[in-house]
Amino acid sequence: MCGIVGYIGEKKAKPILINGLLRLEYRGYDSAGIATIENNEIKNIKNKGRVSELNNISEINSLNGTVGIGHTRWATHGKPSSLNSHPHMDNSNNFAVVHNGIIENYSDLKEFLKSHKYKFLSETDTEVIPNLIHFNYKNSNETGENKFLKAVIDTCKMLKGSYAIEVLSAYHPDNMIVVRKDSPLVIGKGENECYISSDIPAILSFAKDFYLLNDMEFAYISKNNVKFYNDKAIEINKEIKNITWDAGSAEKDGYPDFMLKEINEQPKAIRETIGSRISLDSKTNIDDFNFNKKYLQSITKIFIVACGTAMHAGLTGKNIIENLCEIPVEVEVASEFRYKNPIITQNSLCIFITQSGETADTIAALKLAKTKGAKTIAISNVIGSSITREADYTIYTHAGPEIAVASTKAYTSQIVLLAIISIYFAEILGKNPKKIEDLKNNILKLPSHIETILKDTTKIKDFAKKIFKEKDVFFIGRNVDYPVAMEGSLKLKEISYIHSEAYPSGELKHGPIALIENNVTVVSILTNRLLLEKSISNIQEVVTRGAKTFIVTNQELNHEFDEVIKIPKTNALISPVLSVIPLQLLAYYISKEKGLDVDKPRNLAKSVTVE
């Protein structure tokens, strides 16, 4: 949610800031703005609406400064408006701030500042920050850059909540200060310049070397240098990391939308995720894991904790782990996990899945698990993201930047990675060698199987044209197919705004069948041979009530349905990697038929960095 960019160097800041904000549009937002330093004064241009609309403000053409900050806002405190947009200024117009996160005690801080004659223009929590900085700066005995730094540090000590903050000051026109707490922020280092962003892809075309801030670390930035401090104003050392993502992978490469590009990138993403981790001739290799048989035998329960699509990947992972390792697995929604007093012990292993590595609820759940003495594993797609620095162990999907809000390639890569972890554990435990051999063989074939599905999507596109005006769609599946039904339903909701529900097929008679009437669409996934006849019986129940049927299957069917999409056969445990592809495409084509913005669905954000 919300996006931050910043620049300090020798080039004009404005085009770099606008470019960075455009690359962050996938996060979801309702307003945008930039501020630059012009002749030792801060110029602030912002408005409700899209980033591109900033170019319609005439004053923006006069910006020539080489230091600036930018922001895309998703309204939390105060409705979308020009006044509530970032950047925010203090009353003296000498400090400008952009902020991601939520300041929980802003009301108390606002009253404190009002008692010192400060006035407020917006309804936001953010506006207290520049005014607090001004207050602390004015009352500081420090001099030079220490005065600026200390004012920001003292301000952050007064804030409760989460934040990533960039600060400009007219008193220090050649510098910028940034800080983070529970909200992502990175610094890209170039030659005589620095780029700042809440997401690496936004500035990946400008920099390959990055500083990754930890909580309550402050960076004092000039074009030639970055100094890092802790919250006691003591200078600290930071290592620089080289990020090897191809900047071109964050471009559309000729596709009309990022989502379609990322659907088609799934064979590559899965090949990269598999890498050298598994082969048919050797034991599974996970470089950063250090588990032994004694520890794995001591585990009484595995928790998989995630949100949204990642949680659906976790449900498929549960099936794989329980089948191979014979350890009970619970899958939990991260936003509920902390508040249900989960029974976690030193004999629990907790796996946390988040594409961005910045999902606030998931990170908070991980911190809770650590306090209970459990070992923690993070599965993420972003190197150096917040969760990877909190977890005991990290394993990366290598899906590359995922820009569309609706996750596709990250989801299938997460399932593959959970399968690899399951095999790794089972091999150490000495369990189910024949199952492992078959599963490995089928995992290695997944990329080519997906390529087969993607070769011809005509039938899916045609069916989308038939149903795109419908108001309700139902998804059903049994066993391993049920999480796929949930994910297909979520994709349709996310990008087409059609109401949809997912149910285990056997639950139809327990209520949902009351909703089935003539011409309602029912999507069914059929990949489990052992449950085929039962599943077909469930579909017949909706057919007799007039439903249209869209079937995704790898089985031979002797029944007539409205549309049947055949996918390659594979091991049932990983069939969700294949069966979800037609559902991703169905949601995509329906959204396109409706003329919607596929990559940036309303009210949603790519990285949910607040609770």
The mean pLDDT value for 573-601 works out to: 96
Tokens of 372: 């209970």
Helices 409-429 and 575-593 pack at an angle, to 10 degrees, of 170
**Confidence category of residue 391, pLDDT binned at 50, 70, 90:** very high
> In which element (H, E) is residue 376 found?
strand 375-380
Residue 590: pLDDT above 80?
A: yes
Q: How far apart are CA 481 and CA 49, in angstroms?
A: 40
Report which of residues 546 and 575 the model is more confident about. Answer: 575
Tokens of 481: 């197919």
Per annotation, catalytic residue among 318, 548, 592, 606: 606
Q: Which of 136, 74, 76, 130 is nearest to 102 (CA)?
A: 76
Environment class of 83 (CB within 10 Å of its CB; exposed 0-12, middle 13-18, buried 19+)? middle
Maximum mean pLDDT: which of 207-211, 319-323, 527-531: 319-323
Phi-psi region at 519: left, alpha or beta (left = phi > 0; alpha = psi -120 to 50)? left
2 tagged catalytic: yes
Tokens of 310: 């990642």
Give CATH for domain 252-454: 3.40.50.10490
Per-residue pLDDT reduced to its tens digit, 129-188: 999 999 999 999 999 889 999 999 999 999 988 899 999 999 999 999 999 987 888 999
Q: How far apart are CA 359 and CA 382, in angstroms?
A: 12
Q: How far apart are CA 194 and CA 188, in angstroms?
A: 6
The mean pLDDT value for 329-354 works out to: 94
Q: How far apart are CA 42 and CA 323, in angstroms?
A: 61
The mean pLDDT value for 514-541 works out to: 86
Residue 128: pLDDT above 90?
A: yes
Residue 376: pLDDT above 70?
A: yes
- Please give the share of the chain, as a percent, with pLDDT higher than 70: 97
Q: How far apart are CA 480 and CA 554, in angstroms?
A: 13
Residue 67: pLDDT above 90?
A: yes
Tokens of 610: 């607040």
Domain with CATH 3.60.20.10 in the chain: 3-244
Q: What per-residue confidence (pLDDT) applies to 610?
A: 52
Per-residue pLDDT reduced to its tens digit, 394-443: 999 988 888 899 999 999 999 999 999 999 999 999 999 999 999 999 99
Q: How far apart are CA 411 and CA 580, in angstroms?
A: 10
Domain with CATH 3.40.50.10490 in the chain: 252-454, 458-593
Report which of residues 540 and 583 the model is more confident about. Answer: 583
Per-residue pLDDT reduced to its tens digit, 19-50: 999 887 766 678 899 999 999 999 999 998 88
Q: What is the pTM of this model?
A: 0.72
Residue 102: pLDDT above 60?
A: yes
- In the chain, the amino acid numbered 189 is K
The mean pLDDT value for 181-196 works out to: 91
Q: How far apart are CA 397 and CA 419, in angstroms?
A: 12
Q: How does DSSP assign 256-323, residue by residue?
A: SSHHHHHHHTHHHHHHHHHTTT--SSS----TT----HHHHHH--EEEEEE-HHHHHHHHHHHHHHHH
The mean pLDDT value for 569-579 works out to: 97
Q: How far apart are CA 512 and CA 521, in angstroms?
A: 13
Distance of CA 3 to CAs 18, 30, 137, 465, Å?
12, 11, 27, 35
Residue 2: pLDDT above 80?
A: no
Q: What per-residue confidence (pLDDT) applies to 1?
A: 53
Residue 608: pLDDT above 70?
A: no
325 tagged catalytic: no
Residue 611: pLDDT above 60?
A: no
The mean pLDDT value for 74-79 works out to: 75
Q: How far apart are CA 369 and CA 458, in angstroms?
A: 47
Strands 31-38 and 88-89: unpaired
Distance of CA 312 to the CA centre of its chain: 14
Note whether 599 and 404 are within 8 A (CB).
yes
| pLDDT, the chain, mean | 91
> Which residues, other chains included, contact 114 with Cβ-Cβ below 8 Å and sequence gap of 6+?
120
The mean pLDDT value for 195-203 works out to: 86
Per-residue pLDDT reduced to its tens digit, 3-21: 899 999 999 999 999 999 9
Q: What per-residue confidence (pLDDT) applies to 241?
A: 87
Per annotation, catalytic residue among 2, 194, 307, 325: 2
Q: What per-residue confidence (pLDDT) applies to 245?
A: 66
Q: Which residue pairs from 145-153 have beta carbons closer than 8 angstroms and sit at least 24 positions apart in sequence?
A: 145/172, 145/175, 145/220, 146/233, 148/172, 148/175, 148/177, 148/220, 149/177, 149/218, 149/220, 149/229, 149/233, 150/233, 152/177, 152/179, 152/218, 153/218, 153/229, 153/231, 153/233
Q: Which of 337, 332, 394 is nearest to 368 (CA)?
A: 337
Residue 493: pLDDT above 60?
A: yes
Q: What per-residue confidence (pLDDT) applies to 202?
A: 80
CATH 3.40.50.10490 fits 458-593, yes or no: yes
CATH architecture label of 3-244: 4-Layer Sandwich (3.60)
The mean pLDDT value for 68-81 works out to: 84
Per-residue pLDDT reduced to its tens digit, 344-356: 999 999 999 999 8
